[in-house]
Amino acid sequence: MGQDYHDDRHCEAHIDLLNVLAGYAGGAARPKLCEIAAACGIPSKLGMSGDKVADMYLAGRMVEIAEYNESDALTTHLLMLKVALHGGKLSHDEYAVELAAAESFLSREVEAGKASMAWFPTEWATLQADPIL
């Protein structure tokens, strides 16, 4: 019958990272992406949050929404790598290779003039100095 993409409890094709990390609890027990990322030494949502997106959309600020989503996607990717490392899906060497690839991508984006990502490397270096996880 195949996997059900919408069944994030039993299907590796769809993983809702926040559901997994919260043990599928709701409400106050469900952490925010920025909280988990900060605990892991990963930057997120500098000066922005998802609750502002609707107002930004109505104001026609599509470029800023796209920039927010790009940094959110990078944060999520880095967090997934951390979870894969601690979950035994990546070795330390594989994790290091993936981090280097992310750093290279980020460097290329900044060098290409993507000002919206310029804050990420500095913030990442600062947070990596003392992560909880």
| Helix 119-128 and helix 92-111, axial crossing angle in degrees, nearest 10 | 150
**Type of residue at 38:** A
Q: Can you list the alpha helix ranges (DSSP code H) found in the chain?
A: 17-21, 33-39, 53-58, 62-86, 92-111, 119-128
The reported pLDDT for the residue numbered 9 is: 61
How is residue 89 annotated by DSSP?
S
- Mean pLDDT across the chain: 83
The reported pLDDT for the residue numbered 126 is: 84
pLDDT beyond 60 at 1: no
Characterise 27 by phi-psi region: left (phi > 0), alpha (psi -120 to 50), beta (else): left
CB-neighbour burial class of residue 29 (10 A; exposed 0-12, middle 13-18, buried 19+): exposed
pTM of the complete model: 0.80
User: Could you report the per-residue pLDDT of 35-91, keeping only the tens digit for each?
Assistant: 888 888 899 877 778 888 999 999 999 999 999 899 899 999 999 999 899 989 999
The reported pLDDT for the residue numbered 104 is: 95
How is residue 27 annotated by DSSP?
G
Rounded Cα gap, residues 26 and 133, in angstroms: 22
